[in-house]
Amino acid sequence: MSRAMRFLSRLLSLFALAGAVVTAVIDATRSIATASITLTPFIESWQASSPGTFEAFRKTVEDRTFAALWDPGLTAVLSLPSWLLFAALALIFYILGQPKRRPDDLFAARY
């Protein structure tokens, strides 16, 4: 992977981590206000903030793939809490942005 792609992956990881922190703070604030644990699913946040893009995404997935991918598959993933989904994306992008380790980079190989 080139240096530019690693940089882009790390940048996306940073933004996803920021999204995870923001959504975790929102859920924590709601939990304190209601005196019970409140976890907001990503699908509800997306529908509330931008229903047009959500419907366009749903329609695209159902039209270009088989419909079973949307209903049991993606709805289960999108029903996860927002902070968990963003944290998972941050971890994936961070791992993708790591350079490959060469055997000569190991400490024991130098001596």
List the chain pLDDT tens, one digit each, 111 residues: 788 899 999 999 999 999 999 999 999 999 999 999 999 999 999 999 999 999 999 888 888 887 778 888 888 899 999 999 999 999 999 999 988 777 666 666 555
Query: Per DSSP, what are the bridge partners of residue 81?
Result: 41
Q: What does the pLDDT read at residue 105?
A: 63
Closest residue by Cα to residue 97 from 9, 4, 2, 3: 9
Closest residue by Cα to residue 57 from 76, 82, 74, 80: 74
In a 13 Å sphere around the CA of 48, the CA atoms on its Cβ side amount to: 7
pTM of the model as a whole:
0.80
Q: What does the pLDDT read at residue 64?
A: 85
Whether residue 93 contacts residue 16, with contact meaning beta carbons closer than 8 Å, is answered with: yes
Q: How many CB atoms lie within 10 A of CB 16?
A: 20
Tell me the two tokens of residue 37. 């644990």
Q: What does the pLDDT read at residue 65?
A: 83
Closest residue by Cα to residue 90 from 24, 17, 18: 17
